[in-house]
Amino acid sequence: MTNYQLVDVFGSAPCSGNPLPVIAGADHLSTEEMQRITRWFSYSETAFLLPPTDPAADYHVRIFTLDRELPFAGHPTLGSCHAWLADGGVPRGAGRIIQQCGAGLVELRQTDILAFAAPPLIRSGDVDGADLTMIAHFLRIDHSAILEAQWVDNGPGWVSVMLESADAVLALDPHGHWPKRIELGVVGSHPRGHDAAYEVRSFFSGERGVIIEDPITGSLNASIAQWLAGRFPARYVVSQGTALGRQGRVTIDADGDTIWVGGRTITIAEGTTILA
């Protein structure tokens, strides 16, 4: 028997963010068992906490989607840290937590919210014409509606495009199936006076080509913030999940060369499980 928590991440109110099951004491589970459990939970990701193998880390997390393991993901990073702290974890440094994951060590800080330091991009730069044509076709928009596009991959494989406005982002009706893997973020600006600077939507491939829209995506918002650095004040808020009836809010805070990506975390349910 071991503990598990269902954590709501990036919500502006309970049950308005992105849910994450976190299973503690998972070091006896095999990779195949973790993948099977993730498919059973059927959330976008499930996180498994293990003792760290790196002496600099406070804990180790493995992150799974419905069809693969990810080296890094944002809402599982915040949700796992929340669960680890709620389960009695004590970081080595006051207000500073070090997570070990497939991408290496990720630093988090704890103030009124948890926030992680955006990891470096592993792929950046322009998107070629053929990929842009494919993206426009997938989104069912004219190619000219895409104002800018960049590779913003920090692990999951993200490419991001910018549309003229948040309204244009919210109006999207992309294909529900796609023959090639999609890891796509779409961003557009809100007008002045809105509580958020940007609206973001993210789409990725699930099993058998089914396209999933993620409610709120920390890794994508981290890499978009790196792409758009300098265009907005050092601290701003992103809205995501609106098209799914969620009220996600992601706080971006640039501190020198480090971009912190934060949001509210709350345990919605907890208990024990026979899975580990």
Contact in structure between 249 and 262 (CB atoms under 8 Å):
no
**Does 131 share its domain with 253?**
yes
Q: How far is CA 58 from the centre of its chain?
A: 21
Which pLDDT belongs to residue 276?
55
Task: Give the confidence band of 174 by pLDDT, cuts at 50, 70, 90.
Answer: very high
Residues 127 and 109 in one domain: no
Q: What is the pTM of this model?
A: 0.93
- pLDDT over 60 at 223, yes or no: yes
Q: Which domain holds residue 90?
A: 2-116+262-273
What residue has token string 């089914």? 210
Closest to 266 in 3D by CA, of 12, 43, 2 = 12
**8 A C-beta contact, residue 258 and residue 240:** no
CB 252 within 8 A of CB 259: yes
Judge if 161 and 75 occupy the same domain. no
**What is the CATH classification number for the domain harbouring 58?**
3.10.310.10
- The answer to whether residues 162 and 185 belong to one domain is yes
Instruction: Give per-residue pLDDT as tens, 29-88.
Output: 999 999 999 999 999 999 999 999 999 999 999 999 998 999 999 999 999 999 999 999
Range of weakest confidence among 41-45, 81-85, 133-137, 158-162: 41-45
pLDDT band at 3 (very low <50, low <70, confident <90, very high): confident
If one compares 2 and 134, the residue with the highest pLDDT of the two is 134
Q: What single DSSP character describes residue 242?
A: G
- Domains held by the chain: number: 2
Mean of pLDDT over the chain: 95
Angle at 118 (CA atoms; ends 196, 193), nearest 5 degrees? 10
High-pLDDT (> 90) share of the chain, %: 88
pLDDT at 272: 87
Q: In this model, does residue 161 exceed pLDDT 70?
A: yes
Query: Measured between alpha carbons, how far is 220 from 36 in angstroms, rounded to an integer?
Result: 25
Q: What is the pLDDT of residue 275?
A: 64
Tell me: do 73 and 49 sit in the same domain: yes
My answer on whether 185 and 241 are in the same domain is: yes
Query: For the segment 100-119, what is each residue's pLDDT rounded down to a tens digit?
Result: 999 999 999 999 999 999 99
96 and 148 housed in the same domain: no
Is there a single domain that holds both residue 156 and residue 66? no
95 and 186 assigned to the same domain: no
